[in-house]
């Protein structure tokens, strides 16, 4: 069970690595305060999604709900793999090369959209709410920090496709959902 939680949390958070690299390459700075805002938004949205999952779990039969959860993860995985990533995540709206509080909130909401759907599916599969939410938020913070560092210090990463981490997270979701079906 803990391995499933870890794999789901990593998949839910991998976008943060790509975004951190993109920001680093553009020399956009993410302060600790900004990353803390992202951390808090991530926890709140993941908790909310799991409570939505709990509500849906009370409506549907347990086996049907597990099937629905697996299908949600499968659809999210395919959506993530197939989505058009020509538009980069750039929430430095004022082009200041620093993310302010408002921009951090927008970035946090954008990063948490995948976590929302994944959280509903994770609850359906019996995931521990507290561990999953904290792990998603921690991994988003960690991946964003590492990605930003890599982008700033290793400019040769420009050759790696920006959406690589996103595609990998989608493939992981597809594999998890298939294993649960």
Domain count, the chain: 1
Q: What is the pLDDT of residue 52?
A: 84
User: SS3 for 163?
Assistant: coil
Q: What is the pLDDT confidence band of residue 74, given thresholds at 50, 70 and 90?
A: confident
The domain of 27 spans: 2-84+93-180
Q: Each residue of 12-58: pLDDT tens digit?
A: 787 778 777 777 777 777 888 888 888 888 888 888 888 888 888 78
Counts for the chain of helices (H) and strands (E), in that order: 7, 0
Q: CA-to-CA distance for 116 and 49, rounded, in angstroms?
A: 5
Q: Each residue of 129-174: pLDDT tens digit?
A: 888 889 988 998 998 889 888 877 766 555 666 566 667 767 776 7
User: SS3 for 113?
Assistant: helix
Please give the residue that has the higher pLDDT: either 9 or 122: 9
Of the candidates 157, 128, 118, 141, which has an alpha carbon nearest to the alpha carbon of residue 41?
A: 141
- Tokens 């561990």 correspond to 131
Q: What is the pLDDT confidence band of residue 89, given thresholds at 50, 70 and 90?
A: low
User: SS3 for 9?
Assistant: helix
Count of C-beta atoms within a 10 Å radius of residue 179: 11
Q: What is the pLDDT of residue 100?
A: 73
Section 105-132 average pLDDT: 77
Q: What is the pLDDT confidence band of residue 180, given thresholds at 50, 70 and 90?
A: low
């Amino acid at each position: 069970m803990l391995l499933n939680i870890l794999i789901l949390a990593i998949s839910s958070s991998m976008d943060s690595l790509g975004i951190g690299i993109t920001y680093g390459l553009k020399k956009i700075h993410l302060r600790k305060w900004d990353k803390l805002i992202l951390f808090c938004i991530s926890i709140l949205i993941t908790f909310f999604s799991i409570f939505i999952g709990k509500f849906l779990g009370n409506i549907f039969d347990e086996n049907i709900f597990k099937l629905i959860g697996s299908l949600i993860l499968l659809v999210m995985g395919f959506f993530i793999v197939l989505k058009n990533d020509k538009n980069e995540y750039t929430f430095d709206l004022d082009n200041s090369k620093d993310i302010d509080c408002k921009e951090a909130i927008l970035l946090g909401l954008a990063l948490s959209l995948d976590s929302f759907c994944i959280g509903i599916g994770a609850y359906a599969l019996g995931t521990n709410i507290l561990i999953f939410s904290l792990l998603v938020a921690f991994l988003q913070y960690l991946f964003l920090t590492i990605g930003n560092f890599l982008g700033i210090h290793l400019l040769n990463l420009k050759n790696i496709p920006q959406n690589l981490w996103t595609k990998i997270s989608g493939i992981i979701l597809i594999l998890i959902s298939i294993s649960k079906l």
